[in-house]
C-alpha cells in the first residue's frame, strides 16, 4: 500500500486509535504492539499529522510535515483562563484565588 492509499483509508477515528496505541504501547483490546508494529504505526501517525494536523500540539508533526514545538508562552496563551468571564463573589473579595480555607483543627 502506498502512502496516499494509506492516508485515504485512514479516518480520524482510525488515526485516534493508532495514536492511542503508539502512546500507550497497546491496542484498545489490551494486546501489546511489537516494536516493528509500533514503528510502523508511529510512521502512519506522523504521515496523517503531516497532512491533517492544522492545529499542532507541542512536539507534533504539523500540516505540511514540519515538526511543531510550542514555546512556554504559547502554552500559557492556549491554557489561559479568561478571569473577566468568571463570576465574582462580591461578599468575599480578599481571597479571590482561594478554593477553600481551613484551620488545622477543622481537618
Residue 30 belongs to some domain of the structure: yes
Mean pLDDT across 85-105: 62
Calculate the alpha carbon distances from 62 to 7, 27, 46, 107 in Å.
15, 24, 9, 49
Residue 46 belongs to some domain of the structure: yes
Q: Is the pLDDT of residue 65 over 90?
A: no
Residue 99 belongs to some domain of the structure: no
This prediction's pTM? 0.52
Residue 65 belongs to some domain of the structure: yes
| The predicted structure's pLDDT at residue 82 | 59
Residue 91 belongs to some domain of the structure: no
Q: Which domain holds residue 38?
A: 3-85
> How many distinct structural domains can be found in the chain?
1
Residue 94 belongs to some domain of the structure: no
| The predicted structure's pLDDT at residue 34 | 93
- pLDDT-derived band at 4 (thresholds 50, 70, 90) equals confident
CA–CA separation, 107 and 100 (whole Å) = 12
Amino acid at each position: 500500500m502506498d502512502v496516499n492509499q494509506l492516508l485515504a483509508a485512514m479516518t480520524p477515528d482510525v488515526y485516534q486509535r493508532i495514536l492511542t496505541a503508539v502512546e500507550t504501547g497497546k491496542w484498545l483490546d489490551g494486546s501489546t504492539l511489537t516494536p516493528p508494529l509500533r514503528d510502523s504505526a508511529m510512521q502512519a501517525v506522523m504521515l496523517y499529522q503531516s497532512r491533517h494536523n492544522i492545529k499542532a500540539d507541542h512536539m507534533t508533526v504539523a500540516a505540511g510535515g514540519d515538526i511543531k514545538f510550542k514555546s512556554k508562552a504559547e502554552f500559557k496563551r492556549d491554557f489561559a483562563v479568561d478571569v473577566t468571564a468568571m463570576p465574582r463573589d462580591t461578599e468575599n473579595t480578599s481571597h479571590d484565588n482561594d478554593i477553600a480555607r481551613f484551620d488545622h483543627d477543622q481537618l
